[in-house]
Amino acid sequence: MRRPGIRSLAGGAAGIVAGVIGGIALTSTSAATGPPMPAVPGLDAVHVPPVLTRPGEPVTLRYAIVCAPRDDGEPCDGSGSIYARAGQSGPFGRLDLKRGEDSGEGRYFVELPSEIASSRDGFSYYAVLRDGTSGATITVPAGGETAPQRSFPLRDVTEIALGVHAFGRDRAPDERVVAAPWGSEVGEAGLAGSRELGFGGPSSFDVAPDGTVAVLDQVNARVERWSHAGVKATNVEVSGGLADFALEPGGTMDVLEPPSRMTPAPVLRSFRGDGTPRWAQRLSDRTWAKLAAGPAGPTVQQQPSEQWLPVAEHGAALGQAAQAGRGRPGRPFTNGREVVVERIGAGELRLAELVGNAPMRSWRITSATPLGEVQLVEPHGNRLVVVTKTYTDDRSDYLVLVLDRSGIAASFAVESLEWAESAPLARFRLAGSSLYRLGSTRAGLFVDRFDVEVSR
């Protein structure tokens, strides 16, 4: 092999330099779709309404005003007013928010006057919050005076003290109604993700009145129905995110999708029983916790309003303003009944059953072991079925409580088997006297059934 001369080396070096410059320039040109100039993020708010209060309990309403980050790294220059009234109707009075030193529970606050906070009929209010830098305002809840936050007093409350939870005493299911290995064939359940990023399985399910279990297998873009006749799969056009799912009477299927990379707002998609799309409707709020089939159509517990907002009525989708204008503090059931839920602190749960704006029954449950999320609260005859989670830093159980006016009529614990992630409050469904639970293991998905007809 001939030794290269100095001219060859110089020529080669010059060629490399020119080539790298040229290559980068070409690549830059072909990918020259740089991002647009920065825009100003919108105004947002955080508020946890005290929907159930004890007699004489002082009430401080706290808000976080969330605005575009300031270049100096300091928080918003915010302000705002509360429009509040005693009871559930009549004119609102204005109270200006104070700005506190600490933002851990919301920097902006107002202490409600006792004549409002201690009203026998509760109180109602909404807030108008302002970012002093941009001048933007936001009303919370978005329904404003039409659908304000409503708070009710816990009168004649049934007090229940759970004490310390004993882990490891879980009840075995009465029946395993679905057992599906991971996969994409009919009868299998889709699994997404990886060991590095975590796994997501079918995100939600529901149970038809005839006992058919319908599982939203969003990974495989389908709904699978398990019945005594076997398994059937129906394709649905969904994004694949961890969605909630509800069956309406008549077979309509509702899929509540989270925001994704291409759709930054959550969307409720309605499908006919054969999987063909009916409509898709953006939610009023930015975030959702739970979807349920209400008496007039699908309804969603949303944030920041923390209200249940109907997304459709009698088959027709409701626009964002119409949703916001119908917000209620509780989940609606038939006969005008509504159930209001408030988890407080580490281990307190308040529940009330309303008819219209009148509380009919209420419970206050305290636990020495921390309580987590409330998966389900539904009337069952003259009782209330509650499923909540109890946990320590490294263990958890679901706690099933059947409540009546005198306290706990029945209770049992269910082991939390959740190898793959699902929608947040979609683990349990009540159908007739059966409680169904969606779970998963390394091997696959399952749905278990528990009989809740247990007498005291």
Residues 21 to 80 in contact with another protein, rule: CB under 8 A: 21-24, 26-28, 31, 33-41, 44, 46, 48-49, 51, 64-71, 73-76
**418 lines the binding site for another protein (CB under 8 A):** yes
If the CB atoms of residues 211 and 424 are measured against another protein, the closer one turns out to be 424
286 counts as binding another protein under rule CB under 8 A: yes
Q: Which span sits near another protein by CB under 8 A: 19-27, 400-408, 429-437, 440-448? A: 19-27
- When asked if residue 292 is in the footprint of another protein (CB under 8 A), the reply is no
* Bond from prior residue into 58 cis (ω within 30 degrees of 0): no
Query: Residue 250 or 264: which CB sits closer to another protein?
Result: 264
Beta strands 297-303 and 307-310: pairing type? Answer: antiparallel
Q: Does 336 bind another protein (CB under 8 A)?
A: no
The verdict on 164 binding another protein (CB under 8 A) reads: no
Residue with smaller CB distance to another protein, 224 or 285: 285
CA-CA distance, 420 to 416, in Å (whole number)? 11
Q: Which stretch binds another protein (CB under 8 A): 137-145, 220-228, 283-291, 435-443?
A: 283-291
Residues 206-225 that bind another protein (CB under 8 A): none
Residue 408 beta carbon to another protein: minimum distance, rounded to whole angstroms = 19
Tell which positions 87-116 bind another protein, by CB under 8 A.
Answer: 101-105, 107
Part of the chain binding another protein (CB under 8 A), chosen from 14-22, 113-121, 202-210, 313-321: 14-22
Instruction: State in angstroms the smallest separation of the CB of 251 from another protein.
Output: 27
Question: Smallest distance, Å, CB 180 to another protein?
Answer: 22
String marking each residue 382-401 x if it binds another protein according to CB under 8 A: ------xxxx-xxxx-----
Short-list 430, 451, 420, CA closest to 180 = 420
Q: What's the min distance (Å) between Cβ of 199 and another protein?
A: 9
Choose which of 17, 161, 321, 443 interacts with another protein (CB under 8 A).
Answer: 17
Shortest Å, Cβ 421 to another protein: 9
Q: Please, what is the minimum distance in Å from the beta carbon of residue 427 to another protein?
A: 9
372 binds another protein per the rule CB under 8 A: yes
Mark the segment that binds another protein (CB under 8 A) among 134-142, 151-159, 257-265, 407-415.
Answer: 257-265
Q: Give me the half-sphere count of Cα atoms (radius 13 Å) on the Cβ side of residue 250.
A: 12
359 binds another protein (CB under 8 A): no
Cα(354)–Cα(359) distance, integer angstroms: 4
Q: Which is nearer to another protein, 69 or 181 (CB)?
A: 69
Q: Does 343 bind another protein (CB under 8 A)?
A: yes
Give the span between the Cα atoms of 337 and 308, in whole angstroms. Answer: 13
3-state secondary structure 2-29: CCCCHHHHHHHHHHHHHHHHHHHHHHHH
Asked if 388 and 380 count as a contact pair (C-beta separation under 8 A), the reply is no
Which C-beta is closer to another protein: that of 118 or that of 302?
302
Question: Site for another protein (CB under 8 A): which residue of 118, 121, 154, 241?
Answer: 241
Least CB distance from residue 86 to another protein, whole Å?
Answer: 22
Count the site residues for another protein by CB under 8 A.
100
152 binds another protein (CB under 8 A): no
Query: What CA–CA distances, in Å, run from 224 to 96, 221, 233, 347?
Result: 53, 10, 4, 37
Smaller CB separation from another protein, 7 or 456 = 7
Cα(329)–Cα(18) distance, integer angstroms: 68
Under the binding rule (CB under 8 A), the answer on residue 358 touching another protein is no
* Cross-strand pairs, 151: 123
Cα-based angle 175, 177, 180 (whole degrees, multiple of 5): 130
Is 132 a binding residue for another protein by CB under 8 A? The answer is no
Shortest gap between Cβ of 115 and another protein (angstroms)? 25
Give residues with Cβ within 8 angstroms of 119, minimum separation 6. 86, 87, 153
Interface mask (CB under 8 A) for another protein, residues 173-202, using x and -?
Answer: --------------------xxxxxx----
